[in-house]
Amino acid sequence: MGPLLEVKGLSKVFTLGSFLSRVRIKAVDEVTFSIQSAEIFTLAGESGCGKTTTARMILGFETPTSGKILFRGEDVEGFRNRRKWFLQVQAVFQNPFETFNPLRRVESYFFETVHNFDLAATPPEAYSLIDEKLKAVGLSLQEISGKYPSEFSGGQLQRASIARALLANPSLLIADEPVSMVDASLRMSIVNLFRKLCDNFGVSVLYITHDLATAYYISDRIGIMFRGNLVEMGPTEKVLGDPKHPYTKLLLNSIPQPDPRMRYRTTIQLLEEQEEYLLEGCKFANRCPEKGKLCSEEMPAETFVDGRMVRCHLYGPDGDNLPERQGIKRR
Ligand SMILES: Nc1ncnc2c1ncn2[C@@H]1O[C@H](COP(=O)(O)OP(=O)(O)OP(=O)(O)O)[C@@H](O)[C@H]1O
């Protein structure tokens, strides 16, 4: 059986700045990956590396500048607005308190989804479907009935939003930082839930996160992004257990913690980010402890090393051109 989702050479260019200082950044640059049925694939990287833009293009919220997205081998552009797509792919967002209107009872969202997608023929059928999905995430219809979002904890409300996403029996959940706004003590229980949904119900998950600890725990494969590029991708145990790309190593050593108060980057951070996006060669060159001359000149090609893809001159055919590689056997 072929992959469930294929992302092929996907790119998104944004134009930033004012009329006189306009710059074009490739927020997502020729990104290619696939997700199999019943697989959890993580896209990880620091803020501003293009993870959300990738997810938004898959969901159809953002139009790709180029590239293709295939779902079960079919180009999604052909059926993006059809029922089939909405039933198959569902999103779980970062902040459950923004998903639900504070003035509406939470259960109303469930009945609305059942109605909109024609998921039940009778009211008892609707009750039983909603209760079944809520139970799959450790809640029940009785427990949520009559309650407003403010009466739930962040963790409970995120569970409710996952249950709502499950109503149509989707094959793929796209979860963008689903635990970063949830209390640290509850994060593992939510990510475990994704693993359970994948193992027990065959739901695939595109898990987008800063948090390599939860990624290590639940994902089958992982792609590390830096300034629009996938720099390393492969089985999670290989990539995080024995990282090859200097950026993956740095990310593992720093383990950035998502801070809900830090939702917006400072102007200086944004300018540094923009500068990196505009670099000619490897976008990580300015920060790389293993940088060589070639790194600032040419973007490294994809190379396959020890069961994973790496985009780094240290491993490419030109690896020996780096000063530190001269006379040393290539890795
Ligand atoms: N609508 C937009 N217009 C212009 N630039 C954008 C837009 N959306 C994102 N960007 C820029 O594209 C780059 C990638 O952003 P993106 O949100 O995809 O990264 P991210 O890794 O998901 O970060 P975060 O975790 O903070 O959301 C950033 O430099 C961001 O400022």
CA–centroid distance, residue 270 to ligand 1 (Å): 10
Q: Are 172 and 5 in contact (CB under 8 A)?
A: yes
Indicate the residue type of 248: T
Q: Output the pLDDT for position 326.
A: 47
Say how many residues make up the chain: 331
Binding pocket residue ranges, ligand 1, CB within 6 Å: 14, 16, 27, 45, 47-53, 273
Q: Do 233 and 129 share a structural domain?
A: yes
Same domain, yes or no: 32 and 58: yes
The tens digit of pLDDT for each residue in 272-308 reads 778 888 888 999 999 999 998 899 999 999 999 999 9
Of all atoms in ligand 1, which is nearest to the CA of residue 277?
A: 29
Residues 95 and 187 grouped into a single domain: yes
Whether 103 and 63 map to the same domain: the answer is yes
- Same domain for 244 and 299: no
Q: Are residues 241 and 94 in the same domain?
A: yes
113/272: higher pLDDT: 113
For a mutational test of ligand 1's pocket, the pick from 53, 174, 279, i.e. the residue with the most ligand atoms closer than 8 A to its C-beta, is: 53
Ligand 1 site-directed mutation target among 18, 28, 49, most atoms within 8 Å of CB: 49
Nearest protein Cα to ligand 1, atom 4: 14
Asked which of 278, 298, 322 is the last residue of a domain, the reply is 278
Q: Identify whether residues 99 and 221 lie together within a single domain.
A: yes
Do 244 and 207 belong to one domain?
yes
Q: CB within 8 A of 231, min separation 6: which ones?
A: 224, 225, 245, 247, 248, 284, 310, 311, 312
Q: How close is the Cα of 266 to the center of ligand 1, in Å?
A: 13
Write out pLDDT tens, residues 179-202. Answer: 888 888 888 889 999 999 999 999
Residue 163 structural domain: 5-278
For residue 78, the model assigns a pLDDT of: 79
Reduce the secondary structure of 100-150 to three states and give it as a string: CCCCCCHHHHHHHHHHHCCCCCCHHHHHHHHHHHHHHCCCCHHHHCCCCHH
* Burial degree of 289 (CB within 10 A; 0-12, 13-18, 19+): exposed
Residue having the nearest C-alpha atom to atom 31 of ligand 1: 48
Has residue 31 got a pLDDT over 90? Answer: yes
Alpha helices in 205-245 (DSSP H): 212-218, 236-241
Q: CATH number for the domain including 161?
A: 3.40.50.300
Judge if 129 and 190 occupy the same domain: yes
Residue 252 identity: L
Distance CA 176, CA 178 (A): 5
Nearby residues of 232 by Cβ (< 8 Å), 6 or more positions away: 223, 224, 239, 243, 244, 245, 247, 248, 308, 309, 310, 311, 312
Query: Are residues 148 and 133 both part of a single domain?
Result: yes
Residues 73-100 pLDDT 10s: 999 987 777 777 888 999 999 888 888 9
Ligand 1: atom nearest CA of 62 is: 1
Whole-angstrom distance, CA of residue 199 vs CA of residue 103: 35
Residue 329 region by backbone torsions, left for phi larger than 0, else alpha for psi between -120 and 50, else beta: beta
Rounded (to 5) percent helix, strand, coil in the chain: 40, 20, 40
Helix 123-136 and helix 106-116, axial crossing angle in degrees, nearest 10? 120
Mean per-residue pLDDT, 130-142: 95
User: Which of 256, 278, 300 is where one domain is finished?
Assistant: 278
pLDDT at 142 over 80: yes
Number of domains in the chain: 2
Whether residues 270 and 283 share a domain: the answer is: no
132 and 186 in a single domain? The answer is yes
